[in-house]
Amino acid sequence: MARSRRTARTSAGVAGLSMALIAACGGGDGATGGSGEFDVLIHVENTDVPAVLETLAGGACAAESEAAPVTVETVPQTNLDQQLQLLAGQDGLPVLYAAGNAPALTQTLAESGHVLDFEQALSELDAIEHIQPAAVSTIEALYGGFNALPLEYNIEGIWYNTALFDEHGVSVPATWDDLVAAAKTFAEAGVVPFSASGDQGWPITRLIGNYIFRSIGPDALQRVADGEAELTDPEYVEAAQAVADLGEAGYFGRGVGSIDMDTSTNEFLNGNAAMYYMGSWALSDFADEERNAIGAENIAFMPFPDVAGGAGHSGQLAANVGLPLTMNDRKYDDDASAWLSCIAENYGSTALEERSRISGFAVNTPVDDVPPLAQQVQEQIEATDETVLWFEALFSTEATITSQTNAAPLVTGSISAEEFMRLVQDDLD
């Protein structure tokens, strides 16, 4: 998923060769069965993956770790795409690496032979059944192929404060109009209806994307990507206008453009805001008793509501695989395939148990005392057969950045909905 382009607050890179034949001469280390090391490159912000890999190395994957110990290198997320490009240019990518902030970059890397075809690799290892179908469909929709590992799997929607809903007599909105009416009720009562980070931008453009999926249909943005439709078409502009109207009415609270991620989370967790659009990765914040003043029992999840007369419906859940990791086809040898097999089998349960992180892998070892919210999310995922992506998922990096940086000006009224869509469309052309 596309995230901040800011520096650290501060707070600021790649084919399907048939690998069975290639495996033996994978990393160019001659004809040995393995390179004897399993090197990983990941963005420093992701602490889950290194921790889970370490646990696996000491437990379920001890044999693999013996043959090829894990070495993790980290790079700040803002610098990830640059490093991936530089390394790929020198053929220096490690075995397992973060796929890049931009899906477009991952595709470029795949085209130049730096990405493993997991469909084929996992089938050969008889491990394909460890991947949840919903996760595979999300990855395929995003990358045009099974090119990344769903080490995390998130659904997105609106988290709401049940106590505030009860207090102000608001029922869970079923349609967009209900949602706007609910926001009006809250605003009049002095509660901020939506907490959102305009500084990041994407929490706001997510709303535009969801509106489009509900009003035009789940293939609406694929059509834009294929050039069959333009964002400047009236039905698309309508979505940006709907979100701009929320901003104009002041439903995002004051100074939305300056609100960073942490602040928006806290506004919701302190009970200052009634609703918060976010992915299920926020569960770890909700579970943090230090931060969560309203209590996890007072938080519930609703999918993005229907738009009256629209072609999509709320059963089509927005989902993403976070910033996924992928494997380097050119270094895929016996050691790497042994690791892949072990990860597919054990990652799901270990991540859930250790980090309460929901992944796209099957949970093969039952995990006790999963928090109720996490259980709710898991049930949602299991009940979902069709997923949609997000607004910028199929955009070029340039259009993604344009969209996210102009989200705040859109909701503060500095630019109109038409201008917003025009700016993004210009970068897509």
Partner 1 sequence: MTTVELHTTHGRVGGGRQQRRGARRWRQRFKRWPAHLLVTLLLVVVCYPMVWLLLGSFKTQREFLENSVVALPEQWNFDNYVEAWTTGNFSQYFLNSVTAVGPALLVMLLLGTAAGFALEVLVWKGRNAVLLIFLVGIMVPIQMILLPLFTVYFQTGLTGTLWPLIITYTATGLPLTVFLMATFYRAVPREVFEASTIDGAGIVRSFFSIGLPMMRNALFTVGLVQFFFFWNDLLIALTFTNSGSLRTIQVGLLNFSGQYGTTQYGPLFAAISLNIFGMLVIYLVLNQKVQKGLTAGSVKG
Partner 2 sequence: MEHVLGDKRSVAILVGPALLVYTLVMLVPIIWSLGYTAFEGNAVTGFSFVGMDNLTQLAGDRKVREALGFTLRYAAVITVGQVLLGYGLALLYVFVLRRYSSVVRTLVFFPIVLPTVAVALLFQQMFAIAPRDGLVNSFLNVFGIESVDWFGSGGTSFLVIAIMDIWRSMGFYGVLLYAGLVDIPEEVLESARVDGTRGWKLVRHIVLPLSLPVLVSAIIFSINGTLKVFDSILALTGGGPGTATTPLTIHMFQTSFAYGQYGYGSSIAFLLTLLCLIVTVFIFRASRRDLTKG
Summarize as ranges the residues that interact with partner 1 (CB under 8 A): 3-4, 6-12, 44-47, 72-79, 82-83, 86-87, 89-90, 92, 197, 199-200, 260-263, 265-266, 270, 281, 290-291
Classify 177 as helix, strand or coil.
helix
Stretch that binds partner 2, among 101-109, 121-129, 242-250, 327-335 (CB under 8 A): 101-109
Rounded to a whole number of angstroms, the minimum distance from the CB of residue 254 to partner 2 is 6
What radius of gyration, in Å, describes the C-alpha atoms of the chain?
22
Query: Which position among 232, 241, 280, 406 is part of the footprint of partner 2 (CB under 8 A)?
Result: 406
**Beta carbons within 10 angstroms of residue 258's beta carbon:** 11
* 74 interacts with partner 2 by CB under 8 A: no
- Tell me which DSSP letter residue 306 carries: B
Contact (CB, 8 A) for 239 and 221: no
Find, among 156, 205, 150, 195, the residue nearest to 400 by Cα. 205
Q: Which does 14 bind (CB under 5 to 8 A by kind): partner 2, partner 1, none?
A: partner 2
Q: Which does 397 bind (CB under 5 to 8 A by kind): partner 1, partner 2, none?
A: partner 2
Q: Which does 258 bind (CB under 5 to 8 A by kind): partner 1, partner 2, none?
A: partner 2
CA dihedral over 282, 286, 291, 293, signed as positive or negative: positive
Classify 139 as helix, strand or coil.
helix
Contacts of 304 (CB under 8 A, 6+ apart): 156, 157, 158, 207, 210, 211, 213, 214, 277, 314, 318
* 259 interacts with partner 2 by CB under 8 A: yes
User: For residues 134 and 411, which CB has a smaller minimum distance to partner 2 in the complex?
Assistant: 411
- Tell me which DSSP letter residue 361 carries: B
Per-residue x/- track, 181-210, partner 2 (CB under 8 A): ------------------x-----------
Query: Which position among 397, 421, 424, 428 is part of the footprint of partner 2 (CB under 8 A)?
Result: 397
Contact (CB, 8 A) for 101 and 2: yes
- d(Cα 359, Cα 362) in Å, to the nearest integer? 8
**Beta carbons within 10 angstroms of residue 378's beta carbon:** 17
Q: Which does 412 bind (CB under 5 to 8 A by kind): partner 2, partner 1, none?
A: partner 2
Partner residues linked to 52 by β-bridges: none
Q: Which does 77 bind (CB under 5 to 8 A by kind): partner 1, partner 2, none?
A: partner 1
Chain contacts with partner 2 (rule: CB under 8 A): 4-14, 81-82, 85-86, 88-90, 101-102, 104-105, 108-109, 111-112, 114, 199, 253-259, 263, 266-267, 272, 396-398, 401-402, 405-406, 408-409, 412, 414-415, 423
